[in-house]
Amino acid sequence: MDFSQNYVQVNDLEVFYHRAGGGDGRSKPPLVLLHGYTDNGLCWARVAHDLQNDYDVYMPDARGHGRTQGDVQIFSYEQLGADALVFIQALGLVRPFLFGHSMGAQTALIVAANAPELVRALVLEDPPFGHRESAAEQDTEFLQKMADEARVFQERPLSEKIAAIRANEPGWAEAEIIPWAESKEEYDPQIQSPSVRRRMHQYDWREAAGRVQCPVLLLTAERGIVAPETAVAVTRLIPHCKTVRLPEAGHCIHRDAYEETMQVVTDFLANHQ
């Protein structure tokens, strides 16, 4: 897909990003797409392609992901939120929409909490709310096992990664599979370390949610992370929050149920321009 690409200085690193829909001379609302853990900006390529006629779309690689590297010893949700905020400010984006998946959704929440006047509206796709209570995910041996398994997968040939995702996610479109597989070759393996994962799991999303003032669309799924009771808690903390549950989807909602997800998302974005 024909996206422009560039770097911008953000805090202690240069953030690499792709852009879609911004070169046709039209004034469009900015939309920042924030990817999930071990993904990269181009994992949003299909979404960006379908939204670029109406939005100026930015797809940054987060710290430690894609072509944005930087110090991952300070990798945390708080740091990702700070990076995303400075990214928006550095590019001079005026009241952008933020659409984040998983880690990117948590990042978007933090930006909106820390700079409520900056964000127009949020789309949060199955954010990792609820992990803080999981004792198993604090265990060093468990976390190290996950890191070792991820490293083994990262070192497999690209063709094997593609074959694995085709076998495990037969409903994914081809436009999703190759960017996903390629992204697994680019992230810094240190973000999988037990210390980083433990720090991420301990983040208190409730405190941030209580400071969000903009409209929010929370996307959840039958096989996703956000439990129904957690979704209820989110709507109590965020006054202008709408929740939509996709019954046939897992954690990667927009990949599992693309048409249904995009219909809900485009309606929400259009209603808050």
Task: Please report whether residue 152 resides in a domain.
Answer: no
Residue corresponding to tokens 């992901």: 65
Task: Please report whether residue 10 resides in a domain.
Answer: yes
Task: Please report whether residue 173 resides in a domain.
Answer: no
Q: Which of 131, 122, 49, 46 is nearest to 84 (CA)?
A: 122
**For residue 273, pLDDT beyond 70:** yes
Task: Please report whether residue 21 resides in a domain.
Answer: yes
**For residue 17, pLDDT beyond 80:** yes
Task: Please report whether residue 186 resides in a domain.
Answer: no
Task: Please report whether residue 115 resides in a domain.
Answer: yes
Q: Which domain range does residue 125 map to?
A: 4-134+203-271
The residues facing 60 across adjacent strands are: 17
Least confident of 37-41, 68-72, 84-88, 188-192: 68-72
Contact 194, 140 (CB under 8 A): yes
CA distance 199 to 119: 26
Q: How many CB atoms lie within 10 A of CB 116?
A: 12
**For residue 5, pLDDT beyond 60:** yes
Contact 61, 16 (CB under 8 A): yes
**pLDDT tens string 98-119:** 999 999 999 999 999 999 999 9
Count of structural domains, the chain: 1
Contact 85, 111 (CB under 8 A): yes
Task: Please report whether residue 142 resides in a domain.
Answer: no
**pLDDT tens string 197-222:** 888 888 889 999 999 999 999 999 99
Q: What is the pLDDT of residue 1?
A: 60
Give me the percent of the chain exceeding a pLDDT of 70: 96
CATH code where residue 239 lies = 3.40.50.1820
Contact 249, 225 (CB under 8 A): no
CA distance 189 to 204: 24
End-to-end CA distance of the chain: 26
Q: What is the pLDDT of residue 198?
A: 83
Task: Please report whether residue 177 resides in a domain.
Answer: no
* pLDDT confidence tier of residue 156, bands split at 50, 70 and 90: very high
* pLDDT confidence tier of residue 133, bands split at 50, 70 and 90: very low
Q: What is the pLDDT of residue 73?
A: 87
For the chain, give percent helix, strand, coil, nearest 5. Answer: 45, 20, 35
CA distance 213 to 70: 31
Q: What is the pLDDT of residue 25?
A: 62
